[in-house]
């Protein structure tokens, strides 16, 4: 099936290195073949319809395209996110609405739309399985044996040592993963900009994404700095959220112990093993709640 019109939009958001690497049809077709097990040879068979700004919450997806009447939506993630199936639903709904824009959806003739598949490429530092099926129904408040609306996305771990067959089938994906690992490795002991510069220089010298990095060196460094800082910020937000949750739970434990035993705050905190240097913080929180 050939769609009437390729869906396009202006780029108004910062790209990612993943998107930059696979925005060319040749590399994208290589990745599709590696994921699907197909053997397409003509990159022009791809119809790219990546969303730059979707109508829902100003979201954007990384890569989406149609080939052989199938719609593929590819996402790159450096953090584990259980809400990805919901995001995929927003993406595919927006793409379908654009495909059907000039067609009669109220008529008696069934429309033909490409069947979707959702793939997430994960290379974060958190340990995840080689392959995980993420379902929209897992997010439903009420669990049903046969939910009326389901969406499945497959998450593939592309960290070194994982999904070897996939990595062997796509040299570009393998080299992209190696580049990211080097940036992370050097960033642990170097200033971030120097770490990215070193990773880029080494990869060019060793033939890892050489042509891409030589052509886009300045932009890659700029985007890497943005991506890494964003990743670190999200990590900080999650850790702070976990910390606040733990403190809230501990505060409730103190209150319950005081209520059930008649102990004062000091006695309750000692019984719970709260370190002396943290007790003043909880005393203040108890006073605030009075």
Binning the chain into helix, strand and coil, the percentages to the nearest 5 are 50, 10, 35
| Helix (H/G/I), strand (E/B), else coil: 50 | coil
Of the ranges 101-110, 205-214, 240-249, 276-285, which one carries the lowest mean pLDDT score?
240-249
Q: Residue 231 burial by CB count (10 A; 0-12/13-18/19+): exposed, middle or buried? A: middle
| pLDDT over 90 at 225, yes or no | no
Predicted pLDDT at 134: 96
Model confidence over 149-175: pLDDT tens digits?
999 999 999 998 999 999 999 999 999
> How much of the chain, in percent, has pLDDT values that exceed 70?
85
**Which pLDDT tens digit goes with each residue over 60-105?**
678 999 998 999 999 999 888 899 999 999 999 999 998 888 888 8
Query: Cα–Cα distance between 42 and 6 in angstroms, integer?
Result: 17
pLDDT band at 2 (very low <50, low <70, confident <90, very high): very low
Average pLDDT over residues 38-57: 75
Helix (H) or strand (E) holding 213: helix 210-261
The percent of residues in the chain predicted with pLDDT above 90, rounded, is 54
The terminus-to-terminus CA distance of the chain in angstroms comes to 67
Cross-strand partners of 67: 70
Rounded to two decimals, what is the model's pTM?
0.74
The band of 53, judged by pLDDT with boundaries at 50, 70 and 90, is very low
d(CA 240, CA 245): 8
What digits encode the pLDDT tens for the residues 98-135?
Answer: 888 888 889 899 999 999 999 999 998 888 999 999 99
Q: 250-266 burial, b if ≥16 CB within 10 A, otherwise e?
A: beebbbebbeeeeeebe
Return d(Cα 79, Cα 19) in angstroms, integer. 16
- Report residue 243's pLDDT band, with 50, 70 and 90 as the boundaries: low
């Amino acid at each position: 099936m050939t769609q009437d019109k390729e869906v396009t939009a202006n780029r108004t958001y910062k790209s990612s290195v993943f998107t930059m690497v696979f925005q060319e049809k040749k590399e994208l077709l290589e990745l599709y073949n590696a994921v699907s097990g197909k053997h397409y040879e003509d990159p022009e068979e791809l119809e790219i319809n990546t969303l730059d700004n979707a109508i829902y919450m100003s979201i954007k997806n990384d890569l989406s395209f149609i080939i052989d009447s199938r719609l593929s939506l590819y996402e790159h993630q450096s953090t584990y996110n259980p809400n990805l199936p919901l995001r995929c639903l927003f993406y595919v709904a927006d793409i379908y609405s654009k495909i059907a824009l000039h067609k009669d959806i109220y008529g008696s003739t069934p429309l033909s739309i490409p069947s979707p598949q959702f793939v997430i490429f994960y290379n974060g530092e958190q340990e995840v399985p080689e392959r995980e099926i993420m379902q929209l129904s897992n997010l439903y408040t009420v669990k049903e044996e046969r939910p009326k609306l389901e969406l499945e996305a497959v998450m593939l771990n592309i960290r070194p040592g994982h999904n070897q067959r996939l990595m062997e089938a796509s040299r570009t994906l393998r080299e992209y993963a190696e580049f990211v690992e080097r940036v992370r490795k050097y960033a642990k002991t170097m200033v971030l900009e120097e770490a990215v510069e070193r990773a880029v220089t080494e990869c060019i010298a060793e033939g890892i994404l050489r042509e891409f990095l030589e052509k886009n060196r300045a932009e890659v460094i700029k985007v890497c700095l943005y991506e890494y800082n964003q990743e670190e910020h999200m990590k900080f937000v999650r850790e702070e959220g976990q910390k606040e949750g733990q403190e809230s739970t501990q505060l409730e434990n103190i209150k319950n112990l005081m209520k059930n035993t008649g102990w004062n705050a000091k006695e309750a905190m000692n019984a719970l093993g709260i370190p002396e240097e943290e007790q003043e913080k909880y005393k203040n929180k108890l006073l605030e709640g009075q």
